[in-house]
Amino acid sequence: MSARRRLLRWFAARAPARAWALLTPTLLFLLVLYFVPVGLMGVYSVLERGTYGGVVWRVTGAAYAQFLDPLYLRILGRSIAMAAASTVISLLIGFPLAWAIARSGRWRRLLLFLVVLPFWTSFLVRTSALLFLLREDGPINAALLALGLIEAPLALLYTPGAVLLGLTYGYLPFAVLPIYASLEKLDPALLEAAEILGARPWARLRRVVVPLAMPGVVAGALLVFIPALGAFLTPDLMGGAKDLMIGNLVHNQFTSARNWPFGSAASTILTGLTLAGVLLYLRQREARDA
Amino acid sequence: MNGTASANEDTRCAVSSARHIHANPLHAVVHHRSLPGRHVHRMTDAPVVEFCGVEKRYAGSAVAAVAEVSFAVQRGEFFSLLGPSGCGKTTMLRLLAGFETPDRGSIRILGEDVTARRPYERPLAMVFQQYALFPHLDVRRNVAFGLEQRRLPAAEIDARVAKALELVRLDPAQFGTRKPAQLSGGQRQRVALARALVLEPPMLLLDEPLGALDLQLRKAMQTELKALNRQLGITFVYVTHDQEEALAMSDRIAVMNGGRLVQLGAPAEIYESPRTAFVAAFIGETNLLDGTVGELRGALREVHDAQYRIWCVPDRPFLREGAGVRVAVRPEWLDLCRPDAVPPGENALHGTVRDVIYLGETLHVVVDVGAAEPMRVALRNEGVLQNPFAWRIGDAAAVAWRPEDAEVLEG
């Protein structure tokens, strides 16, 4: 018997060994590139800052105490509000869009392709493109001026609205795809059953479509909310000085401010809040399903 | 009910619509647009369903899914739409439910024209082929769905849901909180039935509801459905491709083929005097012999072919000398005898036994008589193992039948 066959036979008889063998690359990847850095960040957050960046290995809670300053709490609050708003808008646009795509018959593949088309270019390029669109001498202002609707160009850029637009634009496909996946599985007979039981269109949507699409809606919401909460590129490029989000704060601490412990503490708080939110939701859903 | 049902078999649209123009004044005040929680069974003489020249063609299809269909269903009837797949029976049900709109013709329910109405505006309930239970709702909420849409008080909903579950013999305490995924196929079927019956509709549509069940359960459910139909007085419109099921349950059967209604009648009528070769062959098994009409001798008419000469009862107008016809005889109405023992007065075709098929209850003997198709004779099984005279392949035999047992169909 060849060595290869002997190996295959050994694995064939041992299901757990097979599972571990398949999981190992992913686990190694996660360990080295996720758990170690996140752990390191947690450790850095309770150390003292070094004068020129880096850390001094003395344990302290100073970074967390610093975060309690209203200035930083406001940034956190603004970030959460901004992420929540872009999530809500993404769902409001994404759900009808996903529904339309799921029911579009032979256009389905083309429409799905169009949804993921923006991913063919880098996020930075797309955000810069939006920048051009919103500039004072950009096409939107030019069009409004030409139509005589405004007399002076509007300051569209460097406003919270611009940041919200950028975030929503950037993450909308993440909302559409999971919602589409769950709507596509929806058996049309269920809608007919609801209809013949007396449910008008709105009632069918509320009582049948939305509950059955809920897993997709939740997945979509998380996929928009989490990256939007930590976003730093969009607020950096499209926001004004007052539109700083927590991602920018972290970024600044590691670069210009050279305060690694404080940047780490802000990151840890962000990660902890996100994790707590997701766990809370999952527990609640388990309780409801039981 | 059977009597009136068959008497009304040929409802002419002109007649029935004329009647409704002058129909009793109750029609004017009956509104289904807002469905009442409990249907008051009005005392109208209108049939529960009337199809008048209904035609439906799907986009991109050259042939009509349903063509020129007219019929009426009477109150309390168990009415089956029977046919092979693609015959238009499901389209008919969908037209009746309101999921499809006819291109031509009109549909009336309880005397009111509902052609343009949405499904939720029609006074009916439906049991779907794969049940279409809401997977996210438990049994109780599934059954309550229709009542909740009608905004009935919670106490009344609870009471009616419990009653409906008991009606289909599901214990509300045991099954009420289960999700559809936690039920067996038969239990899901019962929930689907309860969900429809809880609305106390004047009419229930059933789209091949027993197709997914195994044979034992299917037989049991057939009996139960029929009992519910009798007990509740609800009109059942039942779609099936299973002729045995249709025969066993229906008051009347509408046989469909190629989008057309080919025959409408009581089960015995459909089985014993099929009007076309399609009906004869689709409902049960049949032997078909092609031939030409010959002379009239006494009370019998001759039909012949190069191979044979048989006698038939001349009860059809198209039996003119020289006309091409098909003679249909059911296997169980045929006798099989030794070539020299044909009973006098019976038609007989001589041949050789080609196959003997043991089916338990019956024994099918296939006899080659020189016609295009061998003839199939169904014999009551009287014990092949003990019977020394049982038929064997290669035996010479005569297939015999009385002239009145054959049905002559247009060729």
Cβ of B125 within 8 Å of Cβ of A194? The answer is no
Residues of A in contact with B199 (CB under 8 A): 197-198
Cβ of A196 within 8 Å of Cβ of B120? The answer is yes
Separation in Å, CA of B343 to nearest CA in chain A: 58
Mean pLDDT of B75-81: 96
CATH of B2-124+201-277, one of 3.30.470.20, 3.40.50.300, 3.30.1490.120, 3.30.450.20: 3.40.50.300
Interchain CB contact of B97 with A (< 8 Å): yes
The span from the CA of A8 to the CA of B181, in Å, is 38
Region of B43 please: left (phi>0), alpha (psi -120 to 50) or beta. Answer: beta
Residue B31, both tokens = 């509104």
Q: What is the pLDDT of residues B336-364, one digit of tens each?
A: 999 999 999 899 999 999 999 999 899 99
| Residue B287 to residues B142, B345, B406, Cα–Cα distance (Å) | 48, 20, 10
A145-171 burial, b if ≥16 CB within 10 A, otherwise e? eeeeeeeeeeebbbbbebbbbbbbbbb
Helices then strands, counting H and E runs in chain B, come out as 12, 20
pLDDT at residue B24 tops 80: no
The span from the CA of B132 to the CA of A194, in Å, is 9
Mean pLDDT of A56-65: 92
Residue listed under structure tokens 């238009």: B88
How would you classify the pairing of strands B235-240 and B203-207? parallel
Predicted local distance difference test score (pLDDT) of residue B385: 76
H or E element at residue B141: helix B139-149
B29-39 burial, b if ≥16 CB within 10 A, otherwise e? eeebeebebeb
Residues of B in contact with A199 (CB under 8 A): 120, 145, 149
The span from the CA of B64 to the CA of B68, in Å, is 9
Find the range with the poorest average confidence among A71-75, A132-136, A241-245, A255-259. A241-245
Alpha helices in chain A (DSSP H): 3-12, 15-30, 36-44, 62-67, 70-102, 108-116, 123-134, 139-146, 160-184, 188-196, 201-204, 210-229, 233-238, 246-254, 260-289
Q: For B385, list phi and psi in degrees, rounded to 5.
A: -65, -35
Residues of A in contact with B100 (CB under 8 A): none
Q: Are B235 and B49 in contact (CB under 8 A)?
A: yes
Interchain CB contact of B49 with A (< 8 Å): no
Q: Are B300 and B401 in contact (CB under 8 A)?
A: no
H or E element at residue A47: strand A47-49
Residues of B in contact with A207 (CB under 8 A): 145
Select from B315, B346, B268, B298 the least CA-distant residue to B409: B315
Predicted local distance difference test score (pLDDT) of residue B108: 95
Interchain CB contact of B301 with A (< 8 Å): no
The alpha carbon of residue B185 and the mean position of all alpha carbons in its chain are separated, in whole angstroms, by 23
Residues of A in contact with B146 (CB under 8 A): 197-198
Q: Indicate the pLDDT class of residue A218, thresholds 50, 70 and 90.
A: very high
The span from the CA of B104 to the CA of B107, in Å, is 10
What is the residue-averaged pLDDT of chain B?
A: 87
Residues of A in contact with B125 (CB under 8 A): 196-197
Q: What is the DSSP letter of B120?
A: G
**Which residue type does A56 have?**
V
Cβ of B130 within 8 Å of Cβ of A195? The answer is no
Cα angle B373, B301, B377 (rounded to 5 degrees) comes to: 30
Residue B353, both tokens = 């036994």
Q: Indicate the pLDDT class of residue B21, thresholds 50, 70 and 90.
A: very low
Q: Are A75 and A244 in contact (CB under 8 A)?
A: yes
Predicted local distance difference test score (pLDDT) of residue B31: 40
Residues of B in contact with A189 (CB under 8 A): 128-130, 132
Interchain CB contact of B259 with A (< 8 Å): no
Q: In sequence order, which residues have a C-beta less than 8 Å from that of residue B38 and are 6 or more positions away? A: B200
The alpha carbon of residue B140 and the mean position of all alpha carbons in its chain are separated, in whole angstroms, by 32
Q: Are B351 and B368 in contact (CB under 8 A)?
A: yes
Cβ of A196 within 8 Å of Cβ of B118? The answer is no
How would you classify the pairing of strands B78-82 and B235-240? parallel
Report, in angstroms and rounded to the nearest whole number, the Rg of chain B calculated over CA atoms.
25
Cβ of A198 within 8 Å of Cβ of B150? The answer is yes
Beta bridge pairs of residue B327: B289, B408
- Burial label, B108 (beta-carbon count in 10 A; 0-12, 13-18, 19+): buried
Sign of the C-alpha dihedral computed for residues A231, A234, A237 and A241 taken in this order:
negative
Q: Where are the domains of chain B?
A: 2-124+201-277, 285-410
The span from the CA of B167 to the CA of B162, in Å, is 9
Find the range with the poorest average confidence among A49-58, A85-94, B125-134, B232-241. A49-58
Predicted local distance difference test score (pLDDT) of residue B371: 82
**Nearest CB to A195: which of B119, B133, B150?**
B119
Task: Name the residue in chain B with its Cα closest to that of A189.
Answer: B132
Interchain CB contact of B58 with A (< 8 Å): no
Q: Are A259 and A253 in contact (CB under 8 A)?
A: yes
The span from the CA of A218 to the CA of A281, in Å, is 9
Residues of A in contact with B149 (CB under 8 A): 197-199, 203
Q: What is the DSSP letter of B342?
A: P
**Nearest CB to B134: which of A195, A203, A208?**
A208
Cα angle B159, B165, B170 (rounded to 5 degrees) comes to: 140
Residues of B in contact with A209 (CB under 8 A): none
pLDDT at residue B29 tops 60: no
**Nearest CB to B120: which of A189, A198, A207?**
A198
Task: Name the residue in chain A with its Cα closest to that of B129.
Answer: A189
* Residue ranges of A 196-235 with Cβ closer than 8 A to chain B: 196-200, 203, 207-208, 211-212
Residue A208, both tokens = 């049948």
Predicted local distance difference test score (pLDDT) of residue B23: 37
Residues of B in contact with A195 (CB under 8 A): 99, 118-120
Percent of chain B with pLDDT over 70: 89
Residue A85, both tokens = 């708003």
Separation in Å, CA of A170 to nearest CA in chain B: 32
**Which residue type does A161 have?**
G
Predicted local distance difference test score (pLDDT) of residue A290: 60
Mean pLDDT of A216-239: 92
> Which domains are seen in chain A, by residue range?
63-289 (1.10.3720.10)
* Residue ranges of B 181-240 with Cβ closer than 8 A to chain A: 195, 199
Q: In sequence order, which residues have a C-beta less than 8 Å from that of residue A244 and are 6 or more positions away? A: A75, A78, A235
Beta bridge pairs of residue B378: B364
Mean pLDDT of B296-311: 87
Matching CATH topology for B2-124+201-277 and B285-410? no
Predicted local distance difference test score (pLDDT) of residue A287: 75
**Nearest CB to B149: which of A192, A199, A211?**
A199
Comparing A55 with B36, the larger pLDDT belongs to A55
Q: What is the CATH number of domain B285-410?
A: 2.40.50.100
Q: Are A54 and A260 in contact (CB under 8 A)?
A: yes
Residue B273, both tokens = 């005097």
Comparing A148 with A191, the larger pLDDT belongs to A191
